[in-house]
Amino acid sequence: MKKISLALAASTMFAFASGAFAADLAAGKAAYDKFTCASCHGADGKTSIMPAYPILAGQHEDFLRHALRSYKRGAAGAPASANIRKNAIMGAMVAQLSNTDINNIAAWLSKQPSPLAVRK
C-alpha cells in the first residue's frame, strides 16, 4: 500500500509540474511580433539580421525561458550572483515582457523548425 501511495503522489507531482509552464503557442507568436523580436532575430526566429544574433527557433524551451529571465534580472540591476545577463538591447526588450509572455514566446520559438535540430 505504501508503494501505491508513493507512486500516486509522484504521479500527481509530475502532472502539476508538467502543467506549470503550459503555454499558448498562438499567444507566443503574437507576443514575438508585438514586442518586435523579429526586428533582430527574423520573423521565423532563424534568419537573424546579423550573424552575431542567435538563432532562436528550435532552441530548448527551458533555455529560452532562462535566457529571457536572466536578461530581465540584468536589466533590473540584480547582483551578478543572481545569474544575470547584461545586454543593453536585450535588457530593454525583455523589461516589457510579463512571465506569461516569456513562457509563451519560449514555447512558440521552441516549436519552430530550425537548422539547429539533429536530423536522422
CB 58 within 8 A of CB 42: no
**CB within 8 Å of 95: residues ≥ 6 apart:** 72, 75, 76
The predicted structure's pLDDT at residue 3: 62
Q: pLDDT by residue for the chain (120 residues), tens digit each?
A: 566 655 555 555 554 444 455 789 999 999 999 999 999 999 999 999 999 999 999 999 999 999 999 999 999 999 988 889 999 999 999 999 999 999 999 999 999 998 876 666
By the 10 Å C-beta count (0-12 exposed, 13-18 middle, 19+ buried), 24 is classed as: middle
What's the whole-model pTM score? 0.78
Spell out the domains of the chain, with CATH numbers in brackets.
21-110 (1.10.760.10)
